[in-house]
A and B are shown apart, each in its own frame.
Chain A
Amino acid sequence: MALVFAGICSHGPGITGRAERADPALRDPFYAALDSLRADIEASGAEALVVIAAEHFANFFMDNMPAFAMGMGEEYEGPIEDPDWLKIPRTTIPGAPDLSQRMISEMMQTVDLAYAQEWKMDHGIMVPLHFLTPKMDLPIIPANINCQGPPLTPLSRAYAFGQALRRACDAVPEKIAVMGTGGISHWPATPNSGKINEAWDREFLRRWCENDKDALLSYTDEDTLRDAGQGGFEIRTLISIAGLCEGATGHIRFAEPIPIFSTMCVAATMDVS
């Protein structure tokens, strides 16, 4: 039928794995905001959830790195990480292979994407799913934008990926929800873990909420690396949601730095009509 929900959220493994170390005064409102996204997705009647992620070498490596990939499997498994470390049990997640195939076919008209009938999910998808579909019963279509192994997917192409996804959503009879998940400024998994450039993040979110395409696409990787760390490369996933909802307005439900989660923690939606 159409796109019925669009949003973004953070996915740092600390969000679940180091939950008990976060200040409850910040953590609990963040969790509540994520839960409000879950409620909205359920209320939207979504029959499948596309998660646009920045995976961290769980499926794709520098021997064959796609700029874009999308899952077309019957089911997926995750997390690849030690479940005790991530504090999310290992499980099987239902896919939507027929729907995936129809959407991918449409998207390929304008975006050269790889498809994958196997996909192992890492924290980049498992953490969002833990909050957005806690029973892991909503069919998922994972998608990935290369934010990790340079040369990275250009920002303009991430936007175009979102536009193609919108066309695909509009072309199928099913109701589709889409979430983009990535960090803004952060230096994850390094000695600088916990460093957050809040001013940079707030400026990025302002551009995102206004869906200011030119401003969103004006970041260079050099600038991002300097000001927002290598984790900042994940803005591609957030920019794809701006492309998905071109011209629409975003609404922040929560955006506060939580250093033990290694990132600015965000939950937001973007209008779909």
Chain B
Amino acid sequence: MSLYQVQKLLYQLNRDTATQARFKTDVDSVLSDYKLTDDEKNWLRNGDVGELYIHGVNGQILMHYAAFIGQEWDEYIQAMKDGLTKHGQVRDGIYRAVDGGDGGAI
């Protein structure tokens, strides 16, 4: 996981309307600006909030991305819960240490 690169892409996407337009019309050109694994590219292409969350993307970055891809609030929360259920606890980033190291478990 190139957490730094994934987060940097989302940081730019969240704050820049030109990048947002490009993400909608030519997602691969945005993805190719960053050093990402194939898995990461897929999660970003598919809006896989659960995978991004358990791989450590900061919720403040992820929340804005979820809003950008049109996820309702409850959908967004559920996607992270599903990520935990399906893939196990958060394994990177700041949330790995949340709840005494339970990695964001509820």
On A, residues with C-beta under 8 Å from B are: 13-14, 17-18, 56-59, 61-63, 80-82, 85-86, 120, 122, 148, 150, 187-193, 225-226, 229-230
Contacts and interface: CB of A to CB of B under 8 A. Distances in A.
Contacts of A82: 67-68
Contacts of B8: 61-63
Contacts of A190: 53, 59, 80, 95, 98, 104
B81 interface: yes
Nearest to A187: B98
Contacts of A86: 67
Nearest to A85: B67
Contact of A57 (B61, B84, B104): B61
Contacts, number: 75
A81 B81 CA distance: 23
Q: Do most interface residues of chain A lie in helix, strand or loop, or is the interface mixed?
A: loop
Interface string B10-53: 01001100000000000000000000000000000000000001
Contacts of B11: 57, 61
B64 interface: yes
28 contacts: A17-B73, A56-B61, A57-B7, A57-B58, A57-B61, A61-B11, A62-B7, A62-B8, A63-B8, A80-B14, A80-B15, A80-B64, A81-B14, A86-B67, A122-B64, A150-B94, A187-B98, A188-B59, A188-B60, A189-B58, A189-B59, A191-B81, A192-B98, A192-B99, A192-B104, A226-B99, A230-B95, A230-B98
Contacts of B59: 188-190, 230
Contacts of B84: 191
Interface of B: 4, 7-8, 11, 14-15, 53, 58-64, 67-68, 73, 77, 80-81, 84, 94-95, 97-100, 104, 106
Nearest to A80: B15
A249 B45 CA distance: 51
Contacts of B61: 56-57
A61 B62 CA distance: 14
Contact of A56 (B60, B68, B77, B106): B60
A237 to B, nearest CB: 15
